[in-house]
Amino acid sequence: MEAIAPILPFLGLALVFWLLIIRPQSRRNRELVSMQQSLSVGDDVMLTSGIQGTVRGLAEDTFELEVAPGVVLRVARGAVGRIVPRESAYDEPAGPEEL
DSSP characters for the chain? -TTTTTTHHHHHHHHHHIIIIIHHHHHHHHHHHHHHHT--TT-EEEETTS-EEEEEEE-SSEEEEEEETTEEEEEEGGGEEEEPPGGGTTPPPP-GGG-
The reported pLDDT for the residue numbered 18 is 86
- What are the extents of the domains in the chain? 8-86
DSSP bridge partners of 75 = 63
CA distance 63 to 57: 6
Chain centroid to CA 22 = 17
The reported pLDDT for the residue numbered 63 is 95
What is the average pLDDT value for the chain, to the nearest integer?
Answer: 86
The reported pLDDT for the residue numbered 97 is 60
pLDDT tens across 18-70, in order? 888 888 999 999 998 898 888 999 999 999 999 999 999 999 899 999 999 99
With 90 as the cut, is the pLDDT of residue 87 above it? no
Contact 39, 29 (CB under 8 A): no
Contact 54, 42 (CB under 8 A): yes
- CATH number for 8-86 (one of 3.90.1150.10, 3.10.129.10, 3.40.366.10, 2.30.30.60): it is 2.30.30.60
The reported pLDDT for the residue numbered 93 is 56
pTM beyond 0.75: no
